[in-house]
Each structure stands twice: as structure tokens, then as C-alpha cells.
Chain A
Amino acid sequence: MEQFCLEARGIEHSYGKEKVLENVTFSIAAGSYVGLIGPNGGGKTTLIKILLGLTKPDAGKVYVFGESLSNYKKKYHLGYVPQQVSQLENSFPATVSEIVKTGRTARVGLYKSFTNKDKEAVNTAMEITGVSEYKDRLIGKLSGGQKQKVFIARALAGEPKVLFLDEPMVGIDIVSRESFYTFLKRLNKENGITIVFISHDLGVISEEVETILCLNKKLFCHSKSGEVSIDQLIEDSYGKKVSAVRHIH
């Protein structure tokens, strides 16, 4: 039987009178690479925040590895890279390695120090994201792309089983994007991390991910990327006839 790492059942949410999510139900298999697409204001970020426990839905439930999210003790299994990290004005006086370590804090636990195993996990996270070379630099001195990698390293330091990335390409140059997609694919294939990735880059979504969730308040589609017409999906959810175009690098 297929193991689901994440399930959303009947999620509903409103901001005031405006309904942003209507009866959203889906499940994500462990080890999959999922792209979440939809127009601005379609509820993508709200859905991610509900899946992460940051926002309480008006109705519905989230299950992580079969257990209700509110009862799930090992929340560090959910890694998160928020929106527009690269554009953050960050005067926080901390080095890259100090920040990456914060991703491990919950796993270490209260009144406990970082063990060698924890330090090793932090170092591994920095190595696979390529931030080791500037681990002693202040976060505020880094470029947008470098900051993005630091936040991913931070998320990986907790050895997550599911990694959420909310519009991770904003503020990243085109050359870095290509290698970033390759990196995400490697994380998914080699490290077995389930990836849920919100993007407006529809061309990339159509080519890179295995499973597509198309959301505009309601879930329009949840299927394997090769099995659906991305243009039809876009038309259904965005309400306009547009085409997904792969970026030329």
C-alpha cells in the first residue's frame, strides 16, 4: 500500500468573508516531487501554511504520515523555505552556520546541546547546498541566491522528510535557477525527500515535477504531470488561455 506523507482532507479557509480555500482534499505519496500551481490569490501560500500548521483552517484536517498534524510530535520532519527569502533585507548579525544550525534546534530538544551527530547533519546540509565555503560569513553579506541556499540548508539540517518551497525562484538569476532545479531533483531522487514546490514558473512545473496540484480556491487537478495537458490546466485554473513556456537558458 502506498504510504502518504501528507494528506489534506476537506480544507476550507476564509479571510473575512472571502473564501480562499474550498474543500481541498488530496494526498501526497512519500518520495514524490509535487508542484503546486495556481493564480495569485488562489490560496497556494495559505494552503502551504495550513499544511505546516502555521494557519488553522476553518474546516478540514491535515495528516502527516497518517497522524493528525496537531498531534504529530516530530514536526521537524517538515522543512520549509518561505517566500522571497532572497529579497529579505537581513541585518541579522549571524553567520551562515549559526543560521543553518537553527534548523536543527527543535530536533536537538530542550536542555540538550548539539551532539556530534547534530553537527554532522548541519555540515552535511551546508555541503549539499554548497554553502560551506561561506559558512562563516554574515547572512546579510550574501547575494539573493546564496541566501536562498542558506535557507534550504537550514531546512535540510533538520533532516526533513517533506520539504516545502514557496516560490523559491523569486529574486534568483536565470543561471542559478537551472542549477537549483537540478539540485532539487537530486534531493528528491538521491535523498528521498518529498518536495512540495509552489511556483509561477509554469514551464518549469510542467517539465520538472512528477505530480501537479492545480489550485484556485478549489483543487482543479491532482495528477501526474505527464498525464495532463498543462495548457488546459492553466486555462481551467487561471481562467485564461495561456501557454506554459520553458525558459531558454
Chain B
Amino acid sequence: MLEIFDHLFMQRAFLAGILIAVTAPIIGIFLVVRRYSLIADTLAHVSLAGVAIGLLTKTYPLIWATVVSAATAVGIETLRKSKRVYGEASVALFLQGGMAVAVTLISIARGFNADLFGFLFGAIATVSETDLYFIGILALVIVLAVFFHFKELFAVAFDEELAQVSGMRVKAFNTALVVLAAIAITVATRIVGILLIGALMVIPVLSAMQFSRSFKQTMGISIVVSLASVVVGLYASYYLDIASGGAIVLMALAIFFVSSIINKSN
């Protein structure tokens, strides 16, 4: 079981995986309770445009992915708040727009299909030392932001209007939340893949909600579920030679089904 850690790339993959497993649900829980689940998916898809810019310009793709998805996050929030279009329509607008930009850039620069596959579906062998440092810094930003602003994020998530009445800077916290989601997505890109990140942010939270007795407990259980999914998924990816993103999300789904059945039978 432990021989896979003989490989340096697996050590890096597990370290990155643990960071992802912690950061994805602590942001995901706020997205789920605010009915923002699809935003994670949209930001992930849009980050593909950032990856394409990086591959095209031969610069570090994850920086571009962070910049593009964070800018999109601000754009979605601004449009949603302006009420010029329905909330979910603004999400769809950016999802399709981002994908269009990504596909166009990819078609301009033919020849990085192999790199792209790893970004789309996750690939454990691709986590470099630079990735690990980058992921580590971003994960630290997320954990610190949630730690220091937990009570505000929670109050705004529970009821935006009531938080605003009490004088909280709701707009700033909403924007911060979607930007943190964009960062969490970049953190997870290497291991889980752009197409499946949204699932890792949402499914462990849904599993935790089957058993939780409080908000903090929901967050704790979702981190445990997420860690279990990532660790088992990475093992499966290594031994079965399958894409890590698929293996991790399938594991998360299996936990969700089991927890739903247990919850129903109780």
C-alpha cells in the first residue's frame, strides 16, 4: 500500500490532493447553501480559457487559470447584483462565453492536446514542484480567509438581506466568496481536472448534510468525506491507471449514495 510513496510524483500528488480535499469543501459548503453550486462548475470551465492562454503563451497555466476564473467570478457577481439578467442566466452567460474563448484559443494553438487532457480530467503524474508550491500558497489563502471571516461568510450565506440590514458589507463578502471559489478551483485543477472540480466542491458537502447536526459539523464531515474521496481516488488512479479526477469524483459519489441510503433508513 505504501510503496506508491516511493515515487516522488505520488508524494506530490498526495500532498496536493490533501490540500484540495480541505479547500474544496470549505468553500463548497458556502456555495451549496447559497444555491451557487453551478458557479463552481462555471468558474472551472472558464478557467480552461486561462489554461489555454498559459499553454499558448508558454507561461504558467495555473496563474492564468486563477486570473481568468477570479475575473469571471467578479463579473458573475457584478451582473447578478445588477439584476439586469437572472442569476442563473449570468452564470450560463459566462459558462458559454468562457468555453467559447477556451475552444477558440485551443484551436488557434494546435498541438497541446496531451497537456490539455491532464487539465480537463486530472492527472496525478503532472503535479510539479512549482504546482505544489502554487497550490500550497492558494490553499493557505483560502483557509486563512475562511478562518478569519467564518462568522461573516456564514451570516451572509444564511440570509443576505438580514446581514445587509445589520450593516455588514454583503457585496464585499459575496465577491470574496466567488473569488475564493475561483482560487479553490485552480488549486484542484491538476488533480481533479477542470471538468470535475465542481463535483468535489459540492458532493462531499451534500454527503455531510445527510448526517450533520450543525453548520460547523457539516463543514467538518465534508472535509473528511472529501479527504477519503481524494485518498481512495488517488490510489485507484495509480493502481488502475485511470484519470484521477474521475476516480476521486466517483468515490465521492459512492459515499454520497451510501450516506443517502443510511440517512433514509434512519
Contacts and interface: CB of A to CB of B under 8 A. Distances in A.
Interface of A: 52-54, 73-76, 78, 80, 82, 91-95, 98-99, 101-103, 105-108, 110-111, 114, 136, 138, 154, 158
B25 to A, nearest CB: 13
Nearest to A78: B165
B166 A158 contact: yes
Interface of B: 33, 148-149, 151-152, 154-155, 158-159, 161-168, 208-209, 212-216, 218
Contact of A95 (B152, B155, B163, B213): B213
26 contacts: A53-B165, A54-B164, A54-B165, A73-B167, A74-B167, A76-B166, A78-B165, A78-B166, A80-B161, A92-B33, A93-B33, A94-B154, A94-B158, A95-B214, A95-B215, A99-B158, A102-B151, A102-B155, A103-B166, A105-B151, A105-B152, A105-B166, A106-B168, A138-B213, A138-B214, A154-B162
A105 B165 contact: no
B162 A102 contact: yes
Nearest to B29: A93
B204 to A, nearest CB: 13
Contacts of A95: 213-215
Q: What are the 9 closest A-B residue pairs judged by CB atoms, nearest first? A: A75-B167, A106-B166, A102-B155, A94-B215, A105-B155, A93-B218, A95-B214, A76-B166, A80-B165
A111 B150 CA distance: 10
Contacts of A91: 209
Contact of B164 (A53, A74, A111): A53
Nearest to A157: B166
Contacts of A99: 158
A102 B163 contact: yes
Contacts of B213: 95, 136, 138
Nearest to B205: A93
Given A82-B159, A98-B216, A102-B163, 13 more contacts: A52-B165, A73-B167, A76-B166, A82-B162, A92-B33, A99-B158, A101-B151, A102-B151, A102-B154, A105-B163, A105-B168, A106-B168, A154-B162
Interface of B is mostly: helix
B154 A98 contact: yes
Contact of B167 (A94, A106, A111, A138): A106
A99 B157 CA distance: 11
B166 A75 contact: yes
Given A52-B165, A102-B163, A105-B163, A93 B214 contact: yes
Contacts of B152: 105, 110
Nearest to A164: B165
A150 to B, nearest CB: 11
